[in-house]
Amino acid sequence: MGSQGGWGQSKDFLDLVKSIGETRSKAEEDRIVMNEIEILKRRITEPDIPKRKMKEYIIRLVYVEMLGHDASFGYIHAVKMTHDDSLLLKRTGYLAVTLFLNDDHDLIILIVNTIQKDLKSDNYLVVCTALTAVCKLINEETIPAVLPQVVELLGHPKESVRKKAIMALHRFYQRAPSSVAHLLSNFRKKLSDNDPGVMGATLCPLFDLIIADANSYKDLVISFVSILKQVAERRLPKSYDYHQMPAPFIQIRLLKILALLGNGDKQASEHMFTVLGDIFRRCDPSSNIGNAVLYECICCVSSIHSSPKLLESAAEVTSRFLKQSDSHNLKYMGIDALGRLIKISPEIAEDHQLAVIDCLEDPDDTLKRKTFELLYKMTKPSNVEVIADRMIDYMISINDNHYKTEIASRCVELAEQFAPSNQWFIQTMNKVFEHAGDLVNVKVAHNLMRLIAEGFGGDDEGADSQLRSSAVESYLRIIGEPKLPSLLLQVICWVLGEYGTADGKFSASYITGKLCDVAEAHPSDDIVKAYAVTAIMKICAFEIATGRKVELLPECQSLIDELSASHSTDLQQRAYELQTVLGLDALAVETIMPSDASCEDIEVDKSLSFLNGYVQESLVKGARPYIPESERSGMADISNFRSRGHHDSSTHGLKFEAYELPKPSVASRIQPVPLATSKELVPVSQPTYPQEMSQAASMPSVPETGPSELKLQLDGVQKKWGRPTYSPTVPSNSNSSSQKAVNGVAQLVVQGTVGPKTRDVSYDSRKPQVEVSPEKQKLAASLFGGSSSKTGKRPTSTSYKTTRVHSHAAEKSQIPTATVASTEHAAEKAPQPPPPDLLDLGEPTPGYTVIDPFKQLEGLLPSDASSVANSGVSASKSSDIMSLHAESPMSGLIGTVANMGPTNLDSANLLSSLSNLANRNVHGGPAAMQVAPVKKGPNPQDSLEKDAVARQVGVTPSGTNPNLFRDLLG
């Protein structure tokens, strides 16, 4: 077994690895590798290389490529090696090509034939090797070449072959769903394979299929549940146990599938309740794998139709993840689980306020980001300011552009949904733009402009114009700052153009002057310049329309002159348009540039009815009537033919079957022709496509049938290309709508369940137990307080809210564009008790006066409670602050010291050090060391010796003792 002794490699290779191991810098390593590449290039082309030597060269090529260098000169030799008869060389060849080539490489075509041959081999190991290669190398075009053989292998007597065949089909499904569409029933069949490995592998493709279409697999719920039950009850062979858990990887996969099938389906979910409860009880919470299964259970519970009992278990596990563990991993999973559970019952979050705050302030970036994700999910009008501020602060502090973009867009989304006031909204947006700059999606900027133009919906014109003038003021304030991102400048220009002079505070010449400055300050940014010119034009037009005389500033005139000679035709056109507008009279200007008309609907006559007269006239004169594209028959071929482009040229360019022996009978040659032409006349319906595809593939391509065959295959092509264009829009829509629905529901649940008293009690009982810094408590109150203050409401107000939310939901579905605005509006109008946020207390809540006095009285109760809580906080602040500061750093230090211990042990034995780290019963420390050798092949002395050697050497070749290392090798 294995590699005791000299590692079984040639001296050259060992030298190479050793010298690379001893390098101190990347440059040195590169030099050695380049040198090696030169050697290999020379040697590999020599004639008559012994096969053993060639194998070694290939392995060296793999090594070079692994280090990130180009070894493409040797690919062809690896391909050649797959043709070899000896399994030893064949396996090396396949390994090398799977590592070298992506599935779009030109050389693939040379391997397909070998793969075909190997799939038919009597030796199951050869078949396995070939199937592994199939999974990596076969692409959309070559699938038909191996598909029949792979399907045949599903019935192979060896389970390892069946398993790999399933995985290969799964890969085909991922690459080109239509290519295996007629074979999907095979996956169902293989679910009942008597080998657990094959069954487990089948769950992978089934998972993907169920994601795509859950409804057609509902009948399998009972089978999945019974499999899961059997697995949990340890009916599978012992060898599938992992750390004393019965087949956890299979359990996890089943739970994922059940989560999909039970989503929004009460009946299916009810089948699962018992088994899920069982798993919650059985799982070992002390092992990592046990927690992995538990986490998957939580995901499943939060996805299916909810059961109070299961939710309780899930909440229990979540709180254990968050509180009772010192492990960051579990905290991370706990935060994630919490994010899932609050969608169903938001009150769970309250029990974990402090744990969440701890995670938010943790030095670990990963944990922090996860926590931001959670905050994003639980944002409400009452806590949006705190959360958005935190997000922006964090956004400023990081450099990772990818994440910056994400968090910026989240910020914008929250601000749009929950903004408490116009000022705040504009300021937040400005901050986001300023710091995230051009990372923000262009759409966000357009959204912002629209929002300013439309106002926050409703009839309150006064509030809208107030929003606009505050936007104008804030933009005039920042416009002079250097290095504003282009996107923000565009927004500024647009807003100043539309509304700069609207409220009469600023003169037209002042605004145009500012706009000219912007254009001058960004000479290389055509888009900003275009925005600026158009804005100037608008301002001038509004001035003319109101009958005032327009005097262009000299700098403005020079800008126009410059732009009319610009290289950009767009800028030129804008400049000329502006000059023309200046020469027109008030009436004309009013009609081309109506004031504040940016959100007026422009009606588009899609049926082009204004052309009817002209069409009639032409018809009378003898023109041919228009035939809609869908009804045209002959034309479709041509247009399709053109659109298919060069992509699929190989579908008819290459043939993977061996040529048939020439047959004398003419009949068989002609046969395809009528078949194909008949297909052309009959409209091709989608479901029949797969059979046709395989037919087309199996037919020998006869020249005469060329065009008609092309047509048949085109349907497949269209289907393939058509799908992706649809898919991106659909999920995003459903996502946003579902999320919004959840938001509405979430609010309802909170109001219904917990009364004001329970909340008070929980607050009080917590205080003496946990000593927390006042800052944290403050933050907790501002983050979570919103929800607790809401819980204070009586059922009467709940019903009021219910109707509001419902009517809202209806509104949303009807007018998608106005969604944001209307939510905003509701948020302002809805009766809100003052949130117990310390920061917020002083702020008046707009819209409060609208509510009748009865409701106001109700509002008093929770606000009292919150003030009590607040005073409690401040009291603890004064008394505990010293002790806290004295204590917390100490305990933290001790913790880290204690944890440094085991990791610093630089043991060479991978597993022993790992079992020291993980507290597991099975592989706990020395016991495992003694037991392990007995269990497996090599005798204990061998491994002990090796262990000792490795210790001396230091684990890596770059260890402190290169001499020793050389001895070892020699």
Binds other proteins by CB under 8 A, chosen from 950, 952, 964, 966: 950
- Rank residues 3 and 765 by Cβ distance to other proteins and give the closer one: 3
In the chain, what is the straight-line distance between the N-terminal and C-terminal CA atoms, in Å?
Answer: 22
- Contacting other proteins within 200-229 (CB under 8 A): 200-201, 204
Binds other proteins by CB under 8 A, chosen from 77, 164, 574, 679: 164
- Contacting other proteins within 17-36 (CB under 8 A): 17, 20-21
Query: DSSP assignment, residue 631?
Result: G
Min. distance of Cβ 318 from other proteins in angstroms? 14
- Rank residues 50 and 634 by Cβ distance to other proteins and give the closer one: 50
In 3D, which of 483, 578, 583 has the Cα closest to residue 535? 578
User: Could you tell me where the beta strands, DSSP code E, fall in 50-96?
Assistant: none
Spatial neighbors of 50 by CB under 8 A, at least 6 apart, are none
Cβ neighbour number for residue 659 with a 10 Å cutoff: 7
In 3D, which of 720, 703, 590 has the Cα closest to residue 643? 720
**φ, ψ at 304 (rounded to 5°):** -80, 175
- Rank residues 91 and 377 by Cβ distance to other proteins and give the closer one: 91
What is d(CA 159, CA 165) in angstroms, rounded to the nearest whole number? 10
What is d(CA 433, CA 665) in angstroms, rounded to the nearest whole number? 75
Q: Which segment (344-352, 772-780, 880-888, 892-900) binds other proteins by CB under 8 A?
A: 892-900
Does 803 bind other proteins (CB under 8 A)? Our answer is no
3-state class of 213 per DSSP? Answer: coil
Does 909 bind other proteins (CB under 8 A)? Our answer is yes
What is d(CA 125, CA 436) in angstroms, rounded to the nearest whole number? 55
Min. distance of Cβ 22 from other proteins in angstroms? 11
Does 10 bind other proteins (CB under 8 A)? Our answer is no
- Rank residues 860 and 910 by Cβ distance to other proteins and give the closer one: 910
Does 44 bind other proteins (CB under 8 A)? Our answer is no
- Rank residues 102 and 607 by Cβ distance to other proteins and give the closer one: 102
Does 47 bind other proteins (CB under 8 A)? Our answer is no
- Rank residues 260 and 311 by Cβ distance to other proteins and give the closer one: 260
Q: Which segment (289-297, 410-418, 442-450, 660-668) binds other proteins by CB under 8 A?
A: 289-297
Number of residues that bind other proteins (CB under 8 A): 111
- Contacting other proteins within 818-877 (CB under 8 A): none
Min. distance of Cβ 940 from other proteins in angstroms? 9
In 3D, which of 15, 7, 6, 68 has the Cα closest to residue 39? 15
Binds other proteins by CB under 8 A, chosen from 63, 376, 510, 800: 63
- Rank residues 4 and 678 by Cβ distance to other proteins and give the closer one: 4
Tokens coding 644:
């298919």
Binds other proteins by CB under 8 A, chosen from 269, 291, 422, 501: 291
Does 285 bind other proteins (CB under 8 A)? Our answer is no
Binds other proteins by CB under 8 A, chosen from 222, 597, 914, 948: 914
Min. distance of Cβ 438 from other proteins in angstroms? 18
What is d(CA 834, CA 840) in angstroms, rounded to the nearest whole number? 8
- Rank residues 69 and 804 by Cβ distance to other proteins and give the closer one: 69
Cβ neighbour number for residue 565 with a 10 Å cutoff: 9
Tokens coding 810:
């209806």
Residue 10 class from Cβ within 10 Å (0-12 exposed, 13-18 middle, 19+ buried)?
Answer: middle
Tokens coding 28:
């040195």
- Contacting other proteins within 225-254 (CB under 8 A): 237, 239-240, 242-243, 247-250, 252
What is d(CA 186, CA 197) in angstroms, rounded to the nearest whole number? 16
Tokens coding 328:
């960051």
What is d(CA 135, CA 94) in angstroms, rounded to the nearest whole number? 12
In single-letter form, the type of residue at position 795 comes to P
- Contacting other proteins within 371-430 (CB under 8 A): 402-403, 406
Min. distance of Cβ 632 from other proteins in angstroms? 39
CB 383 within 8 A of CB 417: no
Helices and strands (H and E) in the chain: how many: 47, 0
Min. distance of Cβ 631 from other proteins in angstroms? 41
Binds other proteins by CB under 8 A, chosen from 5, 42, 48, 70: 70
- Contacting other proteins within 299-358 (CB under 8 A): 299, 327-329, 331-333
User: Could you tell me where the beta strands, DSSP code E, fall in 650-792?
Assistant: none
**φ, ψ at 245 (rounded to 5°):** -95, 140
Does 553 bind other proteins (CB under 8 A)? Our answer is no
What is d(CA 551, CA 895) in angstroms, rounded to the nearest whole number? 73
- Contacting other proteins within 106-135 (CB under 8 A): 123, 125, 128, 132, 135
Tokens coding 522:
């960004």
Binds other proteins by CB under 8 A, chosen from 937, 960, 963, 970: 937
Min. distance of Cβ 317 from other proteins in angstroms? 12
CA distances from 907 to 168, 864, 929, 951, 954 (A): 40, 61, 13, 7, 9
- Contacting other proteins within 249-268 (CB under 8 A): 249-250, 252, 256
Does 40 bind other proteins (CB under 8 A)? Our answer is no
What is d(CA 762, CA 963) in angstroms, rounded to the nearest whole number? 67
Binds other proteins by CB under 8 A, chosen from 383, 430, 708, 912: 912
Query: DSSP assignment, residue 352?
Result: G
CB 202 within 8 A of CB 187: yes
- Rank residues 73 and 576 by Cβ distance to other proteins and give the closer one: 73
Min. distance of Cβ 36 from other proteins in angstroms? 15
Min. distance of Cβ 367 from other proteins in angstroms? 6
- Rank residues 30 and 590 by Cβ distance to other proteins and give the closer one: 30
Does 927 bind other proteins (CB under 8 A)? Our answer is no
